[in-house]
Amino acid sequence: MESTHTSSEHNLRNIVILGGGTAGWITAGVIAATHRSNNSTNPSIKITLIEAPSIPIAGVGEGTWPSMRRTLKLLGVSETDFINQCNVTFKQGAKFRHWVTGRDDDEYYHPLVAPNHYNNINFAESFATQKFPFSFDKAVCTQGHICDLNLAPKNISHREYEGLLNYAYHLDANAFALFLKKHCTETLGVTHIEAEVERVEGEPDSPIKALVTNSSTRIEGDLFIDCSGFKSHLIGGHFNVEYQSCKDILFCDKAITTHLAYDNNAPLLPYTLSSATDAGWIWDIGLTNRRGVGHVYSSEFIDQEQAKSRLEHYAKRKLRDDEVRTFDIAPGHRKEFWKQNCVAVGLSAGFLEPLEASSLVLVEMAAKFIAEQLPRNTNVMGVIAKRFNEVFRYRWSQIIDFLKLHYVLSERKEAFWQQHRNQETWTKSLSENLLLWRYHCPWHNDFTHTEEVFPSASYQYVLYGMQPNYSFRNTAAQCQHKHYIELFAQDIELQLHQQKAQLYDQRTLLSNVRKFGFALG
């Protein structure tokens, strides 16, 4: 790959980000904050974000991962301000309903805490060979119990970004983008230009030189970050990097969404609710002011009117046409994410159904990689681009496998689910893991990268949440781990008793946050 410049004297100085929204402003903020706090590396970095004034932000309520706490703390954002200004609620995981059999009692949690003693004990070996009164997640940690009680993961005495239990957030994507824009421009020194980009200077086989706006302003850069959403103006439009579809693996290609008001004094659920349907699933994300609900489905198995009917059944009322929005989903990602001096972040890089809230975490990971590995000199751009592409191809493939896992473990009889169980639609890596897990419960060594998208604990929660006896009975493990069963039961009971005494429901906590705020970290 050619470098942008041949002179070793040309240090990278100007970063141009095309597109705002959550992807653009998170990326701008992470790079700016990283290089403000570490001014020995590229102390003169200038970041310019170009945002078209007419492009709306897609989103009806968005889920995050616990990594968002680290990101916001890096940016120097007050958690109190973030919560109050972005309609934020706390998220302690996802609750999956009707994914296995479709019966009323068919549910399990994917919590955000690891199983108790997880570094030393693989309790899944005991669970897979015994009968338990609880689901797997409730046998190994308290978070599912806490979610059932609709309790928050922290109380008002905790410092910002700290809590009794691990947590993430549900947020209003539109409000969040505006919140980040204000912080990045006023505190972190990001230059904001509101304009349409009409022309890209440079050939598709060479680095971009500049972007030219509709006011004929020419904006030069050393590195260009494409956060232009589905349009993918730079990586797709200019460089024509191939988009690799995975619709033959993940079939959902449509979504219909709406906002729902709360019933009087309805609880703010401290988790994302995901309910399976005959040809897809419905998400339910509660913000402070309303619920964001959407039906993700495959148009191969039901049409739009049928999908809307499923959503109305869930909402328990008819929905007017002006109350719903429809989206096309093209599941997949770019073959390359970093081409020449351009790197795609967010929807321009790819999109998968939001089953495990992976969209924003990929933005965070990409922004962190760029900020920490930012080329000091444009001559090494190609080396870092190669590493970025290798890392993110792996991460996208891991997410595809993990999402597919939710489908292949189902026992539902509808055609949509039967087709997912067709092994010809499985990836080779998922097939190998499922074979391995018939004999070996997932644990640390199954995944070898330093920073995995989903740790082995996540695979355990889904695997044994859906199929408690997936692994073959191991008599040796059954005897070896028998004493752990009583140990875990006592641990869970004691921890739950202590946590219930310290935590209260989300509405109460968020009301206190508005009145008093958290103590600074």
- Tell me the CATH number at 233: 3.50.50.60
Per-residue pLDDT for 465 more than 60?
yes
Tokens of 272: 């994302």
Tokens of 134: 């609880």
User: Which residues have CB under 8 Å from 146's CB, separation 6+?
Assistant: 92, 153, 165, 270, 496, 499, 500, 503
Per-residue pLDDT for 210 more than 60?
yes
Residue 513: pLDDT band (50, 70, 90) is very high
Write phi, then psi, for 226 (nearest 5 degrees).
-90, 105
Alpha carbon distance 429, 131 (integer Å):
30
Structural domain total, the chain: 1
Alpha carbon distance 53, 196 (integer Å):
8
Q: In the block, which residue shows the tokens 């309303």?
A: 290
Looking at residues 253-279, what average pLDDT do you find? Answer: 95
Summarised one tens digit per residue, pLDDT across range 405-463 is 999 999 999 999 999 999 999 999 999 999 999 999 999 888 877 788 999 999 999 99
Alpha carbon distance 239, 339 (integer Å):
8
pTM of the model: 0.94
Q: Does the annotation flag 312 for ligand binding? A: no
26: in domain: yes
185: in domain: yes
Q: Does the annotation flag 23 for ligand binding? A: yes
Alpha carbon distance 214, 195 (integer Å):
7
380: in domain: yes
**Three-state DSSP class for 383?**
helix
Ramachandran bin of 46, using left for φ above 0, alpha for ψ from -120 to 50, beta for the remaining angles: beta
Give me the pLDDT at residue 492, please. 92
475: in domain: no
Mean residue pLDDT across the chain:
92
Give me the pLDDT at residue 487, please. 77
Spatial CA neighbour of 123 closest among 136, 111, 113: 136
> What is the separation of C-alpha 375 from the centre of its chain, rounded to a whole number of angstroms?
27
Spatial CA neighbour of 149 closest among 269, 296, 285: 269
Summarised one tens digit per residue, pLDDT across range 468-491 is 989 876 655 555 556 667 777 888
Tokens of 473: 């009975």
Q: Does the annotation flag 286 for ligand binding? A: no
385: in domain: yes
Give me the pLDDT at residue 58, please. 54
Tokens of 3: 């470098």
Give the pairing of strands 223-226 and 14-18.
parallel
What count of other Cβ atoms lies within 10 Å of the Cβ of residue 422?
A: 9
Task: Evaluate whether 89 touches 170 at the Cβ level (below 8 Å).
Answer: yes
The residue segments making up the domain with residue 33 are 14-61+172-245+332-398
Q: What is the DSSP string of 253-277?
A: -EEEEEEEPPPTT----SSEEEEEE
Strand (E) positions, 14-128?
14-18, 46-51, 62-63, 89-91, 93-97, 107-111
Alpha carbon distance 299, 279 (integer Å):
8
Tokens of 91: 């998220």
Strand (E) positions, 70-194?
89-91, 93-97, 107-111, 168-171, 191-194
> What is the separation of C-alpha 463 from the centre of its chain, rounded to a whole number of angstroms?
19
Residues that are catalytic:
91
Q: Does the annotation flag 347 for ligand binding? A: yes
Alpha carbon distance 201, 218 (integer Å):
9
Give me the pLDDT at residue 266, please. 87
Task: Evaluate whether 310 touches 277 at the Cβ level (below 8 Å).
Answer: yes
Tokens of 44: 């003169």
Give me the pLDDT at residue 1, please. 40
Looking at residues 95-120, what average pLDDT do you find? Answer: 95
Give me the pLDDT at residue 449, please. 77
Per-residue pLDDT for 42 more than 50?
no
> What is the separation of C-alpha 54 from the centre of its chain, rounded to a whole number of angstroms?
26
Tokens of 241: 């990097």
162: in domain: no
Higher pLDDT, 478 or 341: 341
Residue 8: pLDDT band (50, 70, 90) is very low
Higher pLDDT, 130 or 151: 151
> DSSP label at 172?
-
Residue 263: pLDDT band (50, 70, 90) is confident
264: in domain: no
Q: Does the annotation flag 107 for ligand binding? A: no
Task: Evaluate whether 416 touches 281 at the Cβ level (below 8 Å).
Answer: no
What count of other Cβ atoms lies within 10 Å of the Cβ of residue 301?
A: 18
Tokens of 460: 């355990």
194: in domain: yes
Q: Does the annotation flag 356 for ligand binding? A: yes
Give me the pLDDT at residue 56, please. 63
Q: In the block, which residue shows the tokens 């993700």?
A: 296
Tokens of 195: 């304009």
Per-residue pLDDT for 325 more than 70?
yes
